[in-house]
């Protein structure tokens, strides 16, 4: 049985997900129609994940903030040598870690204020898994990684809500 929270493939008949502990006996009770269920079990790759902006750890905060503004995105992914994801820097980081605290944005590298080792998913993870993580941990962006931990996309809460809204109206 596939867990609706984390997409783990459990042994049929178990009551709790072996991966996340979600109750599987209650998991599917409130889904409604099959069409709605399918929306939440779609892989994140079905959303055509939005363009991501990647920067090196030594990129200045001034340049990062400029990129956020120019590209109209809410975060940048910080990648190390080999392109592996090592951090994320978001608009929220600007509000809580930069605004009013740092005056010379050219002198500070993004690596000093990024969130290291952010939670990320594979592109084949279910939409409901991303929503579950966002709800539990309070973040709004989830990077999508390939098998070598290199970013291949990014999903945001807003992007997922738009996807659900479009699909609910076509499923109704």
Please list the pLDDT of the chain residue by residue as tens digits (172 residues): 677 777 778 776 677 788 887 776 655 555 556 666 788 889 999 888 778 999 999 999 999 999 999 999 999 999 999 999 999 999 999 998 888 877 888 999 999 999 999 999 999 999 999 998 998 889 999 999 999 999 999 999 998 988 888 887 665 5
CB atoms within 10 A of CB 126: 21
Question: Are residues 110 and 155 located together in one domain of the fold?
Answer: yes
CA distances from 51 to 44, 72, 76, 96 (A): 14, 10, 10, 25
Query: Cα–Cα distance between 129 and 140 in angstroms, integer?
Result: 13
Domain that holds residue 19: 1-30
Domain with residue 70: its CATH number is 3.10.580.10
The answer to whether residue 52 is domain-embedded is yes
Predicted TM-score (pTM) of this structure: 0.77
The answer to whether residue 38 is domain-embedded is no
Question: Are residues 7 and 56 located together in one domain of the fold?
Answer: no
pLDDT the model gives residue 170: 60
Query: Cα–Cα distance between 97 and 89 in angstroms, integer?
Result: 10
Query: Cα–Cα distance between 112 and 23 in angstroms, integer?
Result: 39
The answer to whether residue 37 is domain-embedded is no
The answer to whether residue 36 is domain-embedded is no
Q: In what order do the strands lie in the sheet with 151-156?
A: 121-122, 141-145, 151-156
Question: Are residues 17 and 78 located together in one domain of the fold?
Answer: no
The two structure tokens encoding residue 41: 């079990």
Based on the structure, what is the number of domains in the chain? 2
pLDDT the model gives residue 165: 86
The answer to whether residue 39 is domain-embedded is no
């Amino acid at each position: 049985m596939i867990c609706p929270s984390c997409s783990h493939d459990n042994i049929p008949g178990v009551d709790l997900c072996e991966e996340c502990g979600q109750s599987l006996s209650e998991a599917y009770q409130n889904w409604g129609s099959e069409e709605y269920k399918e929306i939440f079990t779609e892989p994140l790759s079905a959303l055509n994940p939005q363009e991501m902006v990647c920067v090196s750890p030594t990129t200045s905060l001034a340049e990062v903030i400029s990129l956020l503004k120019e590209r109209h995105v809410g975060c940048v992914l910080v990648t190390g040598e080999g392109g592996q994801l090592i951090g994320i820097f978001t608009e929220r980081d600007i509000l809580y870690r930069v605004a009013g605290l740092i005056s010379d944005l050219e002198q500070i590298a993004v690596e000093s204020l990024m969130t290291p080792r952010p939670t990320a998913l594979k592109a084949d993870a279910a939409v409901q898994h991303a929503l579950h993580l966002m709800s539990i941990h309070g973040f709004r962006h989830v990077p999508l990684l390939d098998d070598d931990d290199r970013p291949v996309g990014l999903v945001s809460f807003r992007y997922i809500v738009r996807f659900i809204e479009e699909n609910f109206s076509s499923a109704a």
